Amino acid sequence: MGKRKLIAALDVDSLDKALSLVDQLASHVGMFKVGMELYNAAGPEVVRQIRRRGGRVFLDLKLHDIPTTVARTTRVLTRLGVSILNIHAGGGLAMMQAAASAVQDEAAVQGIEPPQVIAVTVLTSMDEITLNTQLNIPGTVEEQVLRWTKLAQQAGLHGVVCSPLEIKTIRETCGPNFTIVTPGIRPAGSEKNDQRRVMTPAEAVKLGATYLVVGRPITAAENPAEAARAIVKEIESI
């Protein structure tokens, strides 16, 4: 159960580096996150290679464009057989609805299980000062996250990406079946790096996170497999 909740972030810049980590971690994590850096370096082949190794993929490209473009793009990504893909809630209701519909339609055409489509809310590197003064969005981070989350649920999306600090509110608002993917997870004693809203794995799961995304504490560890095992052990100890 703990393993299934853990997503290892492959935040590297080449196919070889990514597959080396996949080979080390495949038995210890439930999914791999492929983000913009890796996808732009290696293209869709990295997704195909992970899936050939039996891995599941969260494709973290944060699509944000006009509804037609996002819908057409999500169709292409659905054909890769990813388990989760994400779009940005800031694109609005019509864009999210178009993506949700396109994914279901394409999966039916291909005869495959549709990926979950989730929305990115407020990036975990942002705080209230950034939100208010740089983006001119009033209110607290939590208020903005909840506004975008409600919009995503209205659009028919499966869930959202949010920081650990918003998990409890979203779980209470959106119910037990809503998917909450949580980056900003840092085991006790590890560096925060550029994440500002962080929490330990155990704390996040207790609050209701569905999946935990962990990058550097695993991938930069001297022994990535052992680091992943330690996180799974922490999750399972709850």
Catalytic residues: 62
Distance CA 137, CA 122 (A): 11
- Return the bridge partners of 167, or none: none
Which helix (H) or strand (E) segment holds residue 102: the answer is helix 93-110
The rounded distance, in Å, linking the Cα atoms of 220 and 228 is: 11
Largest CA distance in the chain: 48
For tokens 């291909």, what's the residue? 110
C-alpha dihedral over 54, 33, 67, 101, to 10 degrees? 40
Burial per residue of 6-35, b for 16 or more beta-carbon CB atoms within 10 angstroms, e otherwise: bbbbbbbeeeebbbebbebbeebbbbbbbb
